[in-house]
Chains A and B, each alone.
Chain A
């Protein structure tokens, strides 16, 4: 059991101090999306499907009063847990401390918008953190399924099944002509967002990434950095998704995104080959320096950590670093995020203290395997 069983207690209890016993539980899991397995997982981090759904008999969130929101939450929570009770844990996001909401955002289990809004809302999460069902986000229900590596078909199949189960319990807002009706017209129709998270460090180093973005935009695909809306890509992670949700079937949308992924993988591999061929010493130097800083720094920001871990990750994939396992590395990406770090250390930390704690955490985990100094 490595999932969020007992989440409710774990998240609710910690207002500033986390229970270390509970964190032993958490430390065993790093979230499906950074598990580091699945097809093409050296470049494709995760495949995600999101479906936006609304109840037919309630106003959308912007016009829902607090009583409506509470009723929507109660209805959806009860129905969801009824059909999936064996697998899902429910977290009342409204009752969570800010740091716990941020923790779920870093884990990609809720969106930033869901964390930052007000009123009755929650999320149902399955034990391996593949499924998260957000209630009262921008729409009444957001069904999100995330699989490790390149597996859009598997993620779609699972989200479709959950959608069918929920629909057997409620009446969705649906129109014959326009399909599933959503709060924002950009999601109407299928309500479906298909996305893949890619690690593209070589395309960034060789300055080809902008060219790639422009060609993706031409075919109506959106590119975002890690953690959604902002365009800045942390650690060279990019999320590619469909913009169009209406006029195509779900299978066509899965195919549209899925079809470009092999091409992008190919570009990234070619860029890596080019870097090795043209300047293996420079690349090896870059990777080794990044590894060296991460293993010895005494204070380090989240941005620098992500940037350096990105180089190290590419180094591991290219065989330039041999003493580091991908799951360990993937875990570092997420556990050095601000909320994770604070939950791990058990106290709330300001930026300066977080940077010191982050450096300590990195030293401890990166120096362990070869027996060098740990502190």
Chain B
């Protein structure tokens, strides 16, 4: 895909989430930098996720970014590129597997990285085990598709065990 501003390939895919419907922008590195450093009449609101994210990524080289984009969550399979493109994460585990990239972004948005509010009554350890169910369910579907019924049955037992214990 070409940059919206010139003929170079677009390496930054920004989805503006503020002000009405999401607006997609595809820009080369040079124009992304220009776009992000542009000072408009209003300051960029803290909720401007895509802007904050891209701002943070502009520092890296194109190779760094390409490598980062290909990283995928082992639980839900979302790539960092997909997250960057749509501004939505794929599963709770993304906060752990993309921690290094997300933490500066979260700090940028909220000015903090530590929750101090309400906690659920249930043990968070349960949450982690339940998250594992997302991966197992995905794998069981794949196993059935591959007609690997032995694996599917093993996965089913694993799922039941977690479901019983939570």
Task: Spell out A's residues near B (CB within 8 Å).
Answer: 54-63, 68, 138, 160, 163-164, 167-168, 171-181, 183-186, 188-190, 192, 214, 217, 220, 222, 229-231, 243-250, 253
Cα-based distance from A212 to B91 in the complex (angstroms): 38
In B72-125, the 8 Å CB interface with A consists of 75-78, 86-92, 95-96, 102, 105-106, 109-122, 124
Provide the residues of chain A in CB contact with B96, threshold 8 Å.
Answer: 175
Tell me if B92 and A173 are in contact (CB < 8 A): yes
* Chain B 151-166: CB-based contact to A (< 8 A → 1; otherwise 0): 0000000000000001
Tell me if B134 and A178 are in contact (CB < 8 A): no
When A173-B92, A174-B119 are in contact, do A247 and B114 touch as well, CB less than 8 Å?
Answer: yes
For residue B131, CB closer than 8 A to chain A, the reply is yes
Cα-based distance from A253 to B117 in the complex (angstroms): 10
Provide the residues of chain B in CB contact with A175, threshold 8 Å.
Answer: 92, 95-96, 115, 124, 127
Minimum distance in angstroms from A177 CB to a CB of chain B = 6
Q: Which of A56, A68, A183, A249 has the most CB of B within 10 A?
A: A56
Tell me if A179 and B117 are in contact (CB < 8 A): yes
Cα-based distance from A58 to B93 in the complex (angstroms): 11
When A63-B76, A186-B109 are in contact, do A171 and B166 touch as well, CB less than 8 Å?
Answer: yes
Q: Tell me which of A60, A189, A245 contacts B88 (CB under 8 A).
A: A60
Q: Which of B45, B89, B92, B137 has the most CB of A within 10 A?
A: B92
Q: A175-B95, A183-B88, A249-B117 are in contact. List 12 more A-B contacts (CB 8 A).
A: A56-B131, A60-B91, A62-B89, A63-B76, A171-B126, A171-B130, A173-B127, A175-B115, A177-B115, A220-B46, A231-B19, A247-B111
When A62-B88, A171-B122 are in contact, do A189 and B127 touch as well, CB less than 8 Å?
Answer: no
Cα-based distance from A58 to B124 in the complex (angstroms): 16
Tell me if B111 and A60 are in contact (CB < 8 A): no
- Can you show 12 pairs from A to B with CB atoms below 8 A apart? A62-B90, A171-B120, A175-B124, A184-B17, A184-B89, A189-B117, A217-B42, A229-B19, A245-B110, A247-B115, A250-B117, A253-B117
Q: Tell me which of A54, A63, A181, A192 contacts B117 (CB under 8 A).
A: A192
Tell me if A250 and B118 are in contact (CB < 8 A): yes
Q: How many residues of B contact A (CB 8 A)?
A: 49
Secondary structure call for the B interface = loop
Cα-based distance from A247 to B46 in the complex (angstroms): 14
Cα-based distance from A61 to B91 in the complex (angstroms): 8
When A54-B92, A181-B92 are in contact, do A247 and B113 touch as well, CB less than 8 Å?
Answer: yes
Task: Spell out B's residues near A (CB within 8 Å).
Answer: 17, 19-21, 42-43, 45-47, 49, 75-78, 86-92, 95-96, 102, 105-106, 109-122, 124, 126-127, 130-131, 133-134, 137, 166
Provide the residues of chain B in CB contact with A244, threshold 8 Å.
Answer: 46, 109-112
Tell me if A183 and B114 are in contact (CB < 8 A): no
Cα-based distance from A247 to B112 in the complex (angstroms): 5
Minimum distance in angstroms from B122 CB to a CB of chain A = 6
Minimum distance in angstroms from B63 CB to a CB of chain A = 25
Tell me if B115 and A190 are in contact (CB < 8 A): yes
Tell me if B131 and A173 are in contact (CB < 8 A): yes
Provide the residues of chain A in CB contact with B113, threshold 8 Å.
Answer: 177-178, 246-247
Cα-based distance from A93 to B17 in the complex (angstroms): 24
Tell me if A183 and B89 are in contact (CB < 8 A): yes
Provide the residues of chain A in CB contact with B76, threshold 8 Å.
Answer: 59-60, 63
Minimum distance in angstroms from B139 CB to a CB of chain A = 13
Tell me if B127 and A247 are in contact (CB < 8 A): no
Provide the residues of chain B in CB contact with A184, threshold 8 Å.
Answer: 17, 49, 87-89
Minimum distance in angstroms from B131 CB to a CB of chain A = 6
Cα-based distance from A185 to B96 in the complex (angstroms): 13
Q: Tell me which of B19, B102, B120 contacts A230 (CB under 8 A).
A: B19
Provide the residues of chain B in CB contact with A183, threshold 8 Å.
Answer: 88-89
Cα-based distance from A63 to B113 in the complex (angstroms): 25
Provide the residues of chain B in CB contact with A249, threshold 8 Å.
Answer: 116-118
Tell me if A178 and B115 are in contact (CB < 8 A): yes
Provide the residues of chain B in CB contact with A54, threshold 8 Å.
Answer: 92
Tell me if A172 and B120 are in contact (CB < 8 A): yes
Tell me if A229 and B45 are in contact (CB < 8 A): no
Cα-based distance from A172 to B118 in the complex (angstroms): 12
Provide the residues of chain B in CB contact with A68, threshold 8 Å.
Answer: 137
Cα-based distance from A163 to B121 in the complex (angstroms): 11
Which residue on chain A has the smallest CB distance to residue B134?
A59
Provide the residues of chain A in CB contact with B21, threshold 8 Å.
Answer: 229
Tell me if A189 and B89 are in contact (CB < 8 A): no
Cα-based distance from A63 to B115 in the complex (angstroms): 25
Provide the residues of chain A in CB contact with B75, threshold 8 Å.
Answer: 59
Cα-based distance from A163 to B124 in the complex (angstroms): 16
Tell me if A190 and B118 are in contact (CB < 8 A): yes
Minimum distance in angstroms from A344 CB to a CB of chain B = 28
